[in-house]
Amino acid sequence: MILLELFITFLKIGLFSFGGGYAMLPLIRQEVTMTHGWMTETQFIDMLAISEMTPGPIAVNTATFVGNSVIGPIGGAAATIGVALPSFVIVSLLFYFLARFKENKVVNLFFRGLRVVVVGLIAAGFISIIPDSLVDVKAILIAAITFTLIQWKKVHPVLCIFIAAVLGFVFYGVL
């Protein structure tokens, strides 16, 4: 049953991904495009762009969009619950136990190592979408402008999304 398959797939993603939504992207991409074939690479990239622009965590938005595209709103709900449930349970348990062990050297070393893993997962997610995103000089220019505005000019990301959309319209002949 596809509904159960969506739930279990996103439950696995939520359970085995550390570091938040961006760190989950390589696993989501693997499951959605390669393992299950629910989306093409291009559809996945487009869905990521929409997930990034909409309010809320990118992993939850992505799960909702994928589930909705596969079997409609009930699929969106199943995928969203699947991806969020492990975090909810783990954070609830961690809150309880971490308060008791916050000075424990082993716990602190574990989290230090976990931070490094998160950097690698986020980098892998970033690298995996480059070939389908930076398809021409115009796209590279929009990405470079957006990166510069956010990284060095400290322009708010929402304003950068708007600027990138306008540039996309101008560069690709929509306006």
From the list 67, 48, 68, the residue with the least C-alpha distance to 58 is 48
DSSP state of 30: I
Total count of domains within the chain: 2
CA 6 to chain centre: 17
Residue 173: domain span: 134-175
Q: What is the pTM of this model?
A: 0.63
User: Both 10 and 88 in a single domain?
Assistant: yes
Residue 82 and residue 139 in one domain:
no
Q: Are residues 105 and 127 in the same domain?
A: yes
| Domain match, 47 and 61 both | yes
The predicted-structure confidence for 76-106, as pLDDT tens digits, reads as follows 999 999 999 998 898 888 788 777 777 888 8
Whole-angstrom distance, CA of residue 52 vs CA of residue 139:
17
Q: What is the pLDDT of residues 46-76, one digit of tens each?
A: 888 888 888 888 889 999 999 999 999 999 9
Instruction: For residues 62 and 25, state if they share a domain.
Output: yes
